[in-house]
Chains A and B, each alone.
Chain A
Amino acid sequence: MTATATTPAGAGVPMRGGARRLVDRVARVRELGIVVALAALFGITGAINPSFLSLQSLRDVLLNSAIVALLAVGQTLVVVTRNIDLSVSSTVGLTAFGAGVVFAAHPGAPIPLVVLGCLAGGAACGLVNGLLVGIGKVPALVATLGTLYAFRGIDFAWAGGRQVNAADLPESFLSLGTRSVLGLPLLALVTLVVLLGVGWVLGNLRSGRELYAIGSNPDAARLAGIPVVRRIIAAFVANGALAGLAGAMWAARFGTLDATVATGKELDVVAAVVVGGVAIFGGSGTVYGAALGALLLSSIGSALAVLQVDALAQNAINGALLIAAIVLDRVLALRVAAALRRRRFRDRQEDRNGGEVGGTRKVEEAAR
Chain B
Amino acid sequence: MTEPIPPILALAGVSKSFGAVQALRNVSFELYAGEAHGLAGENGAGKSTLVKILAGVHRPDAGRLLVDGEPVDFTGPADAQHAGVAVIYQEPTLFPDLSVAENIFMSRQPRGRLRRIDRRAMHAQTTELCARLGVALDPQRPARGLSIADQQLVEIAKALSRDARVLIMDEPTAALSGAEVARLFSVARTLREHGRAILFISHRLEEIFELCGRVTTLRDGQWIATEPTDGLTPDDLVRRMVGRDLDTLYPKQDTAAGDAALKVSRLTREGVFTDVSFEVRRGEIVALAGLVGAGRSEVARAVFGVDRWDAGAVEVGGRRIPPGSPTAAMAAGLAFVPEDRRQQGLVMDMSIERNIALTGLASLRRGPVMSRAAERARARDWAIRLQLKYSRLTDTVNVLSGGNQQKVVLAKWLATDPSVLVVDEPTRGIDVATKAEVHRLLSDLAARGVAVLMISSDLAEVLGMADRVLVMHEGRLVAEIPRDRVTEETLMAAATGRGTGRSAA
Binding site for B on A (CB under 8 A): 16-17, 19-20, 23-24, 204-206, 209-210, 212-213, 215-217, 219-227, 279, 283-284, 336-338, 340-345, 347-348, 352, 359, 362-363, 365-367
Known: A209-B98, A217-B94. A225 touches B131 (CB 8 A): no
Q: Across the two chains, which residue of chain A brings its CB closest to B57?
A: A223
Known: A206-B115, A209-B106, A213-B106. A223 touches B93 (CB 8 A): yes
Query: What are the 6 tightest A-B residue pairs by CB atom distance, in nearest-first order?
Result: A340-B145, A341-B271, A225-B78, A283-B97, A220-B93, A216-B95
Complex formed: what's the CA distance from A276 to B398 in Å? Answer: 41
Complex formed: what's the CA distance from A209 to B87 in Å? Answer: 22
Which segment of B13-21, B134-142, B372-380 sits at the interface? B134-142
Apart from the given pairs A205-B115, A209-B109, A341-B271, 15 other A-B contacts in the complex at a CB distance below 8 Å:
A206-B115, A210-B106, A216-B95, A221-B106, A222-B77, A223-B93, A224-B77, A224-B93, A227-B78, A338-B271, A340-B144, A340-B145, A341-B145, A348-B475, A362-B136
In the bound complex, do residue A337 and residue B97 qualify as a contact, i.e. CB atoms below 8 Å apart? no
Q: Across the two chains, which residue of chain B brings its CB closest to A281?
A: B97
Separation in Å of the B284 CB from the closest CB of chain A? 31
In the bound complex, do residue B77 and residue A365 qualify as a contact, i.e. CB atoms below 8 Å apart? no
Separation in Å of the A344 CB from the closest CB of chain B? 5
B213 at the interface (CB under 8 A from A): no
Interface size class of B (residues with CB under 8 A): 35 or more
Query: By DSSP majority rule, is chain B's interface helix, strand, loop, or mixed?
Result: loop
Binding site for A on B (CB under 8 A): 55, 57, 76-78, 81, 87, 89, 93-98, 102, 106-109, 111, 114-117, 127, 130-131, 133-138, 140-142, 144-147, 177, 179, 183, 270-272, 274, 474-475, 497
Q: Across the two chains, which residue of chain A brings its CB closest to B143?
A: A216
Residue from B114, B142, B147, B475 whose CB has the most chain A CB atoms within 10 Å: B142
Q: What are 6 inter-chain pairs, A to B, with CB distance below 8 A?
A: A213-B106, A215-B97, A225-B76, A226-B106, A337-B144, A340-B145
In the bound complex, do residue A205 and residue B106 qualify as a contact, i.e. CB atoms below 8 Å apart? no
What A residues does B55 contact at CB under 8 A? Answer: 223
Q: Which of A23, A283, A341, A365 contacts B95 (CB 8 A)?
A: A283
Q: Which of B107, B114, B183, B474 contacts A224 (CB 8 A)?
A: B107
What A residues does B57 contact at CB under 8 A? Answer: 223
What B residues does A213 contact at CB under 8 A? Answer: 95, 98, 102, 106-107
In the bound complex, do residue A205 and residue B141 qualify as a contact, i.e. CB atoms below 8 Å apart? no
Q: Across the two chains, which residue of chain B brings its CB closest to A200?
A: B116
What A residues does B133 contact at CB under 8 A? Answer: 366
Complex formed: what's the CA distance from A12 to B77 in Å? Answer: 44
Q: Across the two chains, which residue of chain B brings its CB closest to A208?
A: B117
What A residues does B274 contact at CB under 8 A? Answer: 345
What A residues does B138 contact at CB under 8 A? Answer: 16-17, 20
Known: A206-B115, A225-B77. A348 touches B147 (CB 8 A): yes
Separation in Å of the A243 CB from the closest CB of chain B? 26
Complex formed: what's the CA distance from A336 to B107 in Å? Answer: 27
In the bound complex, do residue A345 and residue B271 qualify as a contact, i.e. CB atoms below 8 Å apart? yes
